Chain A
């Protein structure tokens, strides 16, 4: 085989041969090669390394690279022992400097150095000053020694890679902000990274390895660690969020994962990673609180605003009753407008209240018949006589309250915004693989596509409230309710062509079963 044809990482880099310590690395082998083969010189050389390891029993061997080429370049083209029993009879070698001059080499035998990937790295060879032959025994020793050269190189490579890995590990251990530790079955800490150790006062740090939580914490605190440790030992894994009081008195929230592992003897340990999530948890808490404050505020505001409004409504109707003879013309009209605005404000508050409550305790999905559910919704709406509603007779598995809320709003919109006294509403449902697609289609005036986005915004109405009463919250409530179930709503409509609102509602896992 030819090593030159294959691209490969240079030996010098692969085996880390730049080090000073390799200077003497193969000295023992070349000496042993020379002596066991009963030759004056022995040498280890590599194809792409400018360095030779030479042993000489009689003075210096000229440490030059050209003889390497003349002698060895054919050795590396085969796998066995290549022997030149008389160098003067060989075309390649007879003109070589070491043959023509001192030490007047007359004999050569070489073995290629072949690594585990079957790449030829160089040769191990012996020289002598008289023509000769190696016996079978000497040849096998030479082959064996060549293997030894390669094993030493491989060992060196593994060490080199290991040390790189160790360096990387140290870098991680030192710089990982997570707390990393390993414990044995007595809950003693066997390993801890820099972040873990830095939790402890400086003078204690060297005592952490080998100690257990039992010694470092109060009984109660230690007990909670041990419970989690035990769980990890039993189940293989444990995850907790723990509040831990550090030695400086600071309380931090840690998310801790503990995983069991076993050594080659089957002894169990746990490996733990603790992430400081104090700030994250605090933010989540804060966000939760501000969300619930906001919801509570919307609820209280809309609820408490209703009481005085209703008082005003009663007072107004009393004045109207008591002063019916005095009130005339415009004043009477103004009274009507006051009452109308009170009703409008009541509706706004009711819808605001609904909006703030959407998504709370909406219940679990259940089997509902679309026809029955929709009928129930529009019966509550007091539909005008002229309206006809067709509904698909299909069973759905969906939560009842939000489905009713969505249908009621969509039907009520179709009727409210209709421009005629009669109309036709169609409610269809497509049962798709992963979703229900419920559509409500009307033959009303239609909606200008440029307004499609606006109709879902809070407090947006398409007509003055004096013409069509509405809080402008209906579709916002629908959208918010649907968002809780990752469902969405879309509209398809154009002026004069009616409107279709389509709700795409993902089925829950339970409904697949």
Chain B
């Protein structure tokens, strides 16, 4: 069986905006979700963290698209090309409503694309989904 304990599923947050990252962390705390959250501020840092083994399996990636150095789509391309991480579960959470961003994200096999709404309620919904997801989903353990 590869169904993990929901609290063992790490949320790997790749997000350059501190307040957006805090929104997620806060919502986790409010719901008393004890899953660990690890954050990278851009694609480059995310790849470094993955390579250093600091992100323990199983994990879900929550990815922003507009970031300095290496943006979300570039990160996705690199991720999918790497045999060690190509199976990773990735959700995109972005302000971009651009059709081509949505299309390109799904072309890189993301599990879902969410748009950050202006009021910040979107962060509550995404945590709803991640919470539900980690409870029911079977994830690769390595």
Contact = CB atoms under 8 A, between A and B. Distances in A.
Contacts of B26: 318
A314 B118 contact: no
B120 A313 contact: yes
A311 B118 CA distance: 9
A307 B95 contact: yes
Interface in B91-142: 95, 118-120
B23 interface: yes
Contacts of A306: 118
A314 B23 contact: yes
A310 B118 contact: yes
Contacts of B22: 314, 318
B68 to A, nearest CB: 15
Secondary structure class of chain A's binding surface, majority of residues: helix
Contacts of A310: 118-120
A310 B120 CA distance: 7
A346 interface: yes
Nearest to B116: A310
B1 interface: no
Nearest to B23: A314
A315 interface: yes
A204 B118 CA distance: 69
A440 to B, nearest CB: 29
Interface string A313-328: 1110110000000000
Interface in A99-119: none
Contacts of B118: 306, 310, 346
Interface in B1-52: 17, 19, 22-23, 26
A81 to B, nearest CB: 100
B87 to A, nearest CB: 33
Q: Which of B19, B23, B26, B95 counts the most A-chain CB atoms under 10 A from its CB?
A: B19
A314 B120 contact: yes
A241 to B, nearest CB: 34
A306 B22 CA distance: 18
Secondary structure class of chain B's binding surface, majority of residues: loop
Contacts of A318: 22, 26
Nearest to B120: A314
Nearest to B18: A311
Nearest to A307: B95
B39 to A, nearest CB: 16
A510 to B, nearest CB: 29
B113 to A, nearest CB: 19
A345 to B, nearest CB: 12
A226 B87 CA distance: 62
A314 B119 CA distance: 8
A346 B119 CA distance: 10
A315 B23 CA distance: 9
Contacts of A313: 119-120
B120 to A, nearest CB: 5
Contacts of B17: 311
Nearest to A317: B120
A302 to B, nearest CB: 12
Interface string A285-323: 000000000000000000000110011011101100000
Contacts of A315: 19
A365 to B, nearest CB: 25
Contacts of B23: 314
A310 B22 CA distance: 13
B121 to A, nearest CB: 10
Q: Which of B17, B23, B120 counts the most A-chain CB atoms under 10 A from its CB?
A: B120
A310 B19 CA distance: 10
Nearest to A308: B19
Contacts of A307: 95
A310 B121 CA distance: 11
A106 B40 CA distance: 134
Nearest to B26: A318
Contacts of B119: 310, 313
B19 to A, nearest CB: 4
A313 to B, nearest CB: 7
Interface string A404-416: 0000000000000
Q: Which of A313, A314, A318 counts the most B-chain CB atoms under 10 A from its CB?
A: A314
A346 B19 CA distance: 18
Interface string A194-210: 00000000000000000
A307 B23 CA distance: 14
Nearest to B17: A311
Nearest to A311: B19
Interface in A345-383: 346
B18 to A, nearest CB: 9
B22 to A, nearest CB: 8
Interface string A210-225: 0000000000000000
Nearest to B123: A314
Q: Which of A317, A318, A346 counts the most B-chain CB atoms under 10 A from its CB?
A: A318
A346 B117 CA distance: 13
A97 B120 CA distance: 124
A318 B22 CA distance: 10
Contacts of A311: 17, 19
A252 to B, nearest CB: 41
B80 to A, nearest CB: 29
B127 to A, nearest CB: 14
Nearest to B117: A310
A317 B121 CA distance: 12
A314 B17 CA distance: 13
Interface of A: 306-307, 310-311, 313-315, 317-318, 346
Interface pairs A-B: 4 shortest CB-CB: A311-B19, A314-B120, A310-B118, A314-B19
18 contacts: A306-B118, A307-B95, A310-B118, A310-B119, A310-B120, A311-B17, A311-B19, A313-B119, A313-B120, A314-B19, A314-B22, A314-B23, A314-B120, A315-B19, A317-B120, A318-B22, A318-B26, A346-B118
Given A307-B95, A317-B120, 7 more contacts: A310-B118, A310-B120, A311-B17, A313-B120, A314-B19, A318-B26, A346-B118
